[in-house]
Amino acid sequence: MSEQNKPFVITDRRKFTLDGEPRPDADPSPEREQRPVEVAAAPTPEPVPAQPTQAESDLDLPPALTDEQVSQSKLAYEQTADRLDTAIRAANPGMDHMPEMTFDRLIQSVYMTAIMQMGGSTPEGEQPRVDLMGARQSVDMLAVLSEKTKGNLSEAESRLLESALFELRMAFLEVTQALARSAAAKAPAGPGVPGGRPSIVR
């Protein structure tokens, strides 16, 4: 029989019927051994360096100082301040030493600076010079001190800081409102702006 006339034979190699029963005419030849497929291990990724947080990247921190540098600068500062005190007392007989800086004096200093920035020290009859941005910075400075020293102050220090912050915030509101009223009174009247008052409606 030629190759072209050979019958086409289909061999059913299924071992089970559709019902899951073993087929009696199944090919008894053992199944081919399944060789495990070797999978190449994925390369271990190199560790990514930690990115600095926004707060860390915004700060350009100076190099750390040694204890010796800190102590030497403190000693040099104190010696220079003593010589300055001696020269001032020599030029002003009877003058006492400057009072030592304390937390109370620090709060009072920032408080008085903010009052001056809001025009509180203007002589009577003169136009007040107001530095709103400077005053705001001084008030915010006390707010930072209040937050950072929480739990480390005596009752008197805490009360002094709270009172200073309260008075400065109220004074800041009073000054800004007075400036707004003054600006509104000077503004020319226009359409949709009754009495010349500034309008925030666009």
Mean per-residue pLDDT for 147-158? 95
How high is the pLDDT of residue 175?
A: 93
The verdict on residue 168 lying in a domain is yes
Q: State the pLDDT confidence band at 93, using cuts at 50, 70 and 90.
A: confident
The answer as to whether 181 is a domain residue is yes
Q: Give me the number of domains the chain comprises.
A: 1
Query: What does the pLDDT average to over 19-25?
Result: 69
**83 located within any domain:** no
The predicted pLDDT at position 145 comes to 96
Three-state secondary structure call for residue 116: helix
Residue 55 domain flag:
no
Which residue range(s) make up the domain with 152?
102-120+130-186
Calculate mean pLDDT across residues 43-49.
62
pTM: 0.58
